[in-house]
Amino acid sequence: MRCPFCGWAESKVIDSRAAEEGNSIRRRRECLTCVRRFTTYEVVEQVPLMVIKKDGRRVVFERNKLLTGLIKAFEKRPISIDTIESIADRIEKEIRNSLEREIPTQTIGELVMRNLRECDQVAYVRFASVYRQFADINNFMQELESLMKLTKKETTKSEES
């Protein structure tokens, strides 16, 4: 590791500890020439996750696109950015844990729909209207009726418990 101050290629590690919830290692180093200290981070290199678009194109998965879609769905809703980021983290983790290197956009969309349905029904309907590309009001009403039936089933189950 080159010293950022003098450019010398050798340094010694003074301290190492986990950082970013164990996803990286923070190392304090000392240059063997100028004796100045600096910090480096070591992270596991992840294999890029590819998304298969509807037209067959393959693009690199971008968490920011997922986060942007979630933010749009939750616009003007009483949901904190921390909750939105948590949902994005949960979806990304589930995608990466599938061990698939290529994942269809439909799979990602269904994961988003499931998480939105559990969190906020208005955000769910907003996202569904774009994701499912409702052609007319009848398609929209069918989705609402499906959501209402599911909500009734969940309410009935919780009352029985």
Q: What does the pLDDT look like over 142-157, one tens digit per residue? A: 877 887 887 777 777 7
Domains of the chain: total: 2
* pTM as predicted: 0.62
Q: 57: domain range?
A: 50-148
Residue 29: its H or E element: strand 24-31
Residue 65 in domain: yes
Query: Can you give the pLDDT at residue 68?
Result: 94
How far, in Å, CA of 37 to CA of 112, rounded? Answer: 44
Residues 18 and 78 in one domain: no
Pair 36, 7: CB distance under 8 Å: no
Is the domain of 103 the same as that of 30? no
Residues 30, 39: Cα–Cα separation, whole Å: 9
- pLDDT at residue number 25: 93
Residues 66, 140, single domain; the answer is: yes
Which residues of the chain are modeled with pLDDT < 50? Answer: none
Residue type (1 letter), 7:
G
pLDDT at 124: 83
109 and 74 within one domain: yes
* pLDDT at residue 139, rounded to an integer: 73
Helical ranges in 19-80 per DSSP H: 63-73
